Structure 1
Amino acid sequence: MRFISILITLFFVNTNPTPNEAYWGQIGHRTIGHIADGMLSKKATKKVKKVLGTETLAEVSTWMDEIRSDNAYRYANTWHYCTIPDGMTYETAPKQNGGDVIWAIERIINKLKSGALSANEEAENLKFLVHLVGDIHQPLHVGNGEDRGGNDVKVEWFGNSTNLHSVWDSRMIDGKQFSYTELADWVNHPTKSEIKEWQKATVREWAMESMSFREQVYAVPENGRLSYRYSYDNFDLVKQRILQAGVRLAGVINEIYR
């Protein structure tokens, strides 16, 4: 009986600091991909079609979550996030075993630029890139090292028990009841100066931006009950980060396939 109890405990204890749920949720990721699809250069559009076939950036954006069920891709489990404690930078923060979202994005960009990948390797790396650019723009994917990116912050969302990470990944977005194309139509209005400024920022600057929103993200009442007010206070930030991710994803892919 003691052996069985140990097995049950090991099954239910999640030692991975990333959440078990889809990152940004399917709608969030597809919105980011859809925005990027519409901002690709002609050359990049042609190359992406060659690499992905009939699939769009929006359609492959959730692939990296889907492959978490395949043990062959377990090596990528830690790539969805990074940990930068308060008062630290990425360079001074402890390094993450297995790599992190910043390391992975920088590495994948270099691999795609090299032109040395097989067709299958190029397709997989492009799919990784689409997803990870989205992840790094979700503020809680740059964790403080204390609560598994908000997964340990238990809250109620309109009376339903959940955690803060889930609220940011999907619950605020799902509450709007938009399709990903409708959400993209709503948020996709960057100015030329915003596009230029956002695409000029480095991957590490994207992460520091996410980190900079911690005070706002963690402004949770003591009773942990979140509903309309929290969404009202934070949905503009959700929209901003989704738009920035889409604009930057397009910029990176245009640079890779220039």
Structure 2
Amino acid sequence: MRHRIYTTTVLTVALLLGSTQLFAWGNEGHKLVAEVAFNYMNESTRKNVMQYLDGMSLEEAGNWMDAIKSDSANDYMKPWHYINIEKGATTPAEGDNIVIILNRILKELDHKETLSQAEIKRRILLLFHLIGDLHQPLHVGYLSDKGGNTVQLNFMGSQGTNLHSTWDSKIIEYKATTLSEVLNSKKYSPEALAAVQKIDVIGWAKQSRGYLKEAYTAGTKVDDRYVDAVYPIIKTQLLDAGIRLASVLEHYFKTA
């Protein structure tokens, strides 16, 4: 599958986004993204990817980057999970961010014959998690509130939480979201599916950014009205993340 030239990433990102926050989609969300991907991959790609994962489950692979965050030696990877920018701003904060890292991984996999098996496994694990993260709209959010982390909310009248956590996991858990529900949340024509599958990291980030307006309509509380309004977005983003993860993995690992 054809994909964009990566060398324009830094310049284009400077016109798009920015930085500072935590992690995206809870364990269940990342698991769903991985399972959607495996539904969209062909058998040879599944086999080759699982060989590289070397016994890890899909859930473990999808959540690996969050599982290792308790080790301070991995703190350098924290900015890899997101990219934020203020309303009306055009320049991101300096340093690595999710868009730069994803495009770097793709460029490295273009020459995967130069990588060891362990290095390839690590990049697959990064892809599993970061493609999921990029599709959580608040990971393409505003620096001033750290992607919604400082926006305090009451969830269903009983829990204190924040906007970021609400999108990460609260709504997914509240709705008991299933793989079948995500897979059937949107039906793509062959032409539309091909467009979704196009490998375009910046385009994916723009899509997520476009949902921020809806994310910020909760006010001070999350009720069923808000959940019903944004739940279709969450399911679509989980679906598209899985489809795109499958597209990337097929591009690089369809053949052994």
Instruction: Please give the range of the TM-score, normalised by the shorter of the 2 chains.
Output: 0.7 to 0.9
Query: What's the CA shift for 1:213?
Result: 1.3
Give 1:143 shift.
Answer: 1.6
Quick one: distance in 2 between partners of 1:164 and 1:47?
38
* Cα distance in structure 1, aligned partners of 2:36 and 2:60: 12
SS in 2 for 1:243: helix
Structure 1 CA distance for aligned equivalents of residues 126 and 46 of structure 2: 18
Equivalent position of 2:12 in the other structure: none
Alpha-carbon contact 1:142-1:210 (below 8 Å) kept: yes
Per the TM alignment, residue 94 of structure 1 is displaced from its structure 2 partner at its CA by 2.5
Match in the other structure for 2:174: 175
1:112 Cα offset (Å) = 2.4
TM-score (norm 2): 0.84
Shift of 1:189: 4.7
Shift in CA distance, 163/217, structure 1 to aligned 2, threshold 3 Å: same
Assess if the C-alpha contact under 8 Å between 1:82 and 1:96 holds in 2: no
Alignment of 1:19-34 (within 5 A): 19=22, 23-34=24-35
1:218 is aligned to: 216
What is the deviation of 1:134?
A: 0.4
- Contact 1:83-1:143 at 8 Å conserved across structures: yes
Give the equivalent residue in structure 1 for 2:44.
43
Gaps of 5+ in 2: 1-18
Q: Within 2, Cα distance between the matches of 1:54 and 1:192?
A: 34
Structure 2 match to 1:114: 111
- Partners of 1:202 and 1:122 in 2: CA distance: 21
Distance 1:238 1:105 in 2: 21
- Equivalent position SS for 1:144: coil
- Code of the aligned partner of 1:63: W
Deviations 1:145-182 (A, max 9, x none): 2100001111100121110001100101000124x545
- Report the Cα distance in structure 2 between the residues aligned to 1:208 and 1:129, rounded to whole angstroms: 18
Matched letter for residue 54 of structure 1: G
Question: What's 1:17 paired with?
Answer: 20
Identify the range of structure 1 (23-32 vs 114-123) with the bigger mean alpha-carbon deviation: 114-123
Answer yes or no: is the 8 Å Cα contact 1:35–1:188 preserved in 2.
Answer: no
Q: How does 1:52-67 map to 2 (within 5 A)?
A: 52-67=53-68
Change in 2 beyond 3 A, CA 1:190/1:70: farther
Q: Percent identity?
A: 32
- CA shift, 1:121, in A, is 1.5
Q: Deviations over 1:168-216 (max 9, x none)?
A: 00101000124x5454455375442332011125100111111111211
Aligned CA distance change for structure 1 residues 242 and 55 (closer, same or farther; 3 Å): same
Residue 17 of structure 1: CA displacement?
3.4
TM-aligned CA distance change 1:225 to 1:184, over 3 Å: closer
Task: Output the amino acid matched with 2:160.
Answer: S
> What is the root-mean-square deviation of aligned Cα atoms in Å?
2.0
Could you give the per-residue CA deviations for residues 27-77 of structure 1, whole angstroms, max 9, x where no partner exists? 111000001012123332232122012334444100100000122322211
Task: Say how many residue pairs are matched.
Answer: 234
**How do 1:73-88 residues align onto structure 2 when only pairs under 5 Å count?**
73-88=74-89
Structure 1: which amino acid aligns with 2:108?
K
| In 2: Cα distance, 1:41 partner to 1:79 partner | 29
Rg comparison, structure with higher value? 1
